[in-house]
Amino acid sequence: MSSPYSSLVLINNAGLNWTPDDVPAFDVAMRPHDKHPSLAGLVVLVFEAVLEVICISLPGYILARRGLFKPEHQKFVANLNMELFTPCLIFSKLAKQLNPNQLGDLAVIPIIFIIQTCVSYGVSICVSRLFRFGKRATNFVTAMSVFGNSNSLPISLVISLSQTLKGLSWDRIEGDHSGLVSSRGILYLLIFQQLGQMVRWSWGFHILLAKKDQYEEYRDERIEEGRYRDESTSSEVLIPGLDGNAESSDDEIYVPAGRTPVGGTSSTSSTVSDDGIDTPKKQSVTMNENGNDARNGPFEMPADQLNDIMSFPRMRDLDEPESPKGVWGFFARSKFSLQRASAHAKERTRLLCLRTYSKLPRVIRLSLEKTMNFFREFMNPPLWAMLLSIVVASVPRLQELFFAKGSFVKNSVTDAVTLTGNVAVPLILVVLGANLANNTKESEVKDSEETKIGSRLLIASLISRMVLPTLIMAPILALIAKHVPVSILDDPIFIVVCFLLTGAPSALQLAQICQINEVYEGVMSKILFQSYVVWILPSTLALVMLALETLEWAGV
């Protein structure tokens, strides 16, 4: 059997000058698919990565099925993860390895995001026309196609693949290893995620997954339902006298309680008897030591009490706490004085800022208002952590302060942040399993239209999300990786991330939006079950194979 080396001898005998240094390059050229394992090995590696995700998500699914992990608990844990653990994960992963040269290259991510969104939108429109859906069903399919999962599942898959697949290291980074590979993958995914969040809760919430009464063709139906409910309600009062519904009869006449006595004028008060006649009632009279009425008679106050009243002690403020006497009282009063002075200084500063702001030109004020509104609505803890990571990575001394081995800040603050961030991914997957348990429960179908087109909506959504966008984006990504001169396109994990996002399942937040707006909730549950349980393994295997073939073809 001939080998590459025997072929080399034949070529050399033909007059070509080959040296021993050319043998490894020639051997690589003669052996295709050497940058990734065989198909069987790749199936095992991808199955390991997917199985790891399933094993972490399964406890959340079981706990939710047993009723121990309720939806309100899931929402609290998800918010806690976004507010605390995910920002720590971002900072610990990004601030250590980023450098100023990489920041400009990240601008290619929004461009790829726009291309993917346009492709998914076009695919959903074509598929909806093929199935002859109306406007509302078409918008639903578009939402399922455009908004893919870029958070829980892809992050865990990237971490697992970076540890199982070889050949994902970047030759531009000296000493690159699986930890750095997963960190870069998380960075790319988080940028995609924030772009998707911004579009999902604006265009997706208000237009694509809007409530049924926002469509003109369904408004008459909603009005008829409202009329039916109004006519079916009974006007009979179940409990007389409740909410002012009781009618007064002639025998129930309100009788006032008599005249109000004035103190100091009489020692008796009138009451009303059962027959409506005023009868006097005696009151107790307080007598002093001389036997006189304490209210009207002469009264002499002792001298010590008179001196206490005339001394006029300091009036305590309403917000001032009661303080004991002595040293502790002095400290309490001092603390209160400092707090009051601080609040006064803050108020003076606020008023000064308002005066200064009112004197600015109108154009500058509008710009500042738009900037503040942007930061208030768009920025969230993960984005602030990303911004802080960029600042630390851009200043070499700060990066060395936080991550230099043996430094005080690294051994205390950075290690604490890293330990906290390690909780983020397992917690995301546990919540993912619980969400699947909630959305796969059989629920009553509220929409009559859903019973007619539910199966077709399921098929159209799966095709528009997990099949057609991948087939269209694969050659586009391959051409971009080969011909666009941007450094991160040479990073193998970036190409893997892009392919994973083209065929990722629909975002879990779409189920929350569908529940809020009552949009095809039963179909949404079936989509999540099919995409996250049934099709996740073959889909991930196909996406990883396409990514590795693209890396080999583009020479990355």
How many domains is the chain built from? 2
Are residues 354 and 468 part of one domain?
no
The 3-state secondary structure of 508-550, one letter per residue: CHHHHHHHHHCCCHHHHHHHHHHHHHHCHHHHHHHHHHHHHHH
| Residues 202, 113 share a domain | yes
Quick: pLDDT tens for 213-227: 888 777 665 555 555
The CA distance from 519 to 211, in Å, is 7
366 and 388 together in one domain: no
Q: Are residues 413 and 490 in the same domain?
A: yes
Residue type, 343: A
CB atoms within 10 A of CB 118: 11
**Mean pLDDT computed over 517-525:** 86
Which tokens is 1 given? 């059997």
In a domain, 453, yes or no: yes
Q: Are residues 456 and 367 in the same domain?
A: no
Residue 329 lies in a domain: no
- Tokens 């154009």 identify what position? 363
Residue 134 lies in a domain: yes
Digit-coded pLDDT (tens) for 320-343: 555 566 666 667 777 778 888 888
- 405 domain-assigned: yes
For 292, the token pair is: 């006189």
Q: Whole-model pTM above 0.85?
A: no
Between 362 and 231, residue with greater pLDDT: 362
361 shares a domain with 478: no
pLDDT > 50? residue 81: yes
Residues 352 and 427 in one domain: no
Q: Could you tell me the sign of the dihedral formed by the alpha carbons of 65, 68, 73, 79, in that order?
A: negative
**2, 28, 42, 63 from 13: Cα distances, Å:** 16, 21, 40, 72
Shared domain for 423 and 510, answered yes or no, is yes
Question: How confident is the model over 283-294, as pLDDT tens digits?
Answer: 444 454 444 444
Confidence of residue 357 (pLDDT cuts 50, 70, 90): confident
Q: What is the pLDDT of residues 422-476, one digit of tens each?
A: 888 888 888 888 878 876 665 555 667 888 888 999 999 999 999 999 999 999 9
Per residue, the 3-state secondary structure of 381-424, as one string, reads: HHHHHHHHHHHHHHCHHHHHHHHCCCCHHHHHHHHHHHHHHCCH
One domain for residues 352 and 445: no
Q: Are residues 434 and 519 in the same domain?
A: yes
pLDDT digits (tens, 9 = 90+) for 302-321: 555 545 555 545 555 555 55
- Domain C-terminal end among 378, 399, 426: 378
Instruction: Name the token pair of 332.
Output: 């309490």
Which of the listed residues 324, 357, 378 is the one where a domain comes to its end?
378
Domain around 122: 41-212+384-554
Does residue 485 fall inside a structural domain? Answer: yes
Q: What is the DSSP letter of 212?
A: G
Mean pLDDT score across all residues of the chain = 76
Domain endpoint, select from 328, 362, 378: 378
Q: Is residue 426 part of a domain?
A: yes
What would the mean pLDDT of 238-250 be, rounded to a whole number? 43
Structure token pair of residue 336: 């209160």
At 335 the pLDDT is: 76
Candidates 407, 428, 431, 403; CA nearest to 417 is 403
Report how far apart, in Å, the C-alpha atoms of 149 and of each of 290, 364, 465 are.
91, 39, 10
| Residue 361 DSSP one-character state | -
**Does residue 89 sit within a domain?**
yes
As a whole number, mean pLDDT of residues 383-411 equals 88
- Classify residue 15: in a domain, yes or no: no
* 536 and 460 share one domain: yes
Output the domain CATH number for residue 493: 1.20.1530
For residues 67 and 124, membership in a common domain is answered with yes
Q: Which of 127-136, 242-251, 264-273, 287-296 has the highest mean pLDDT?
A: 127-136
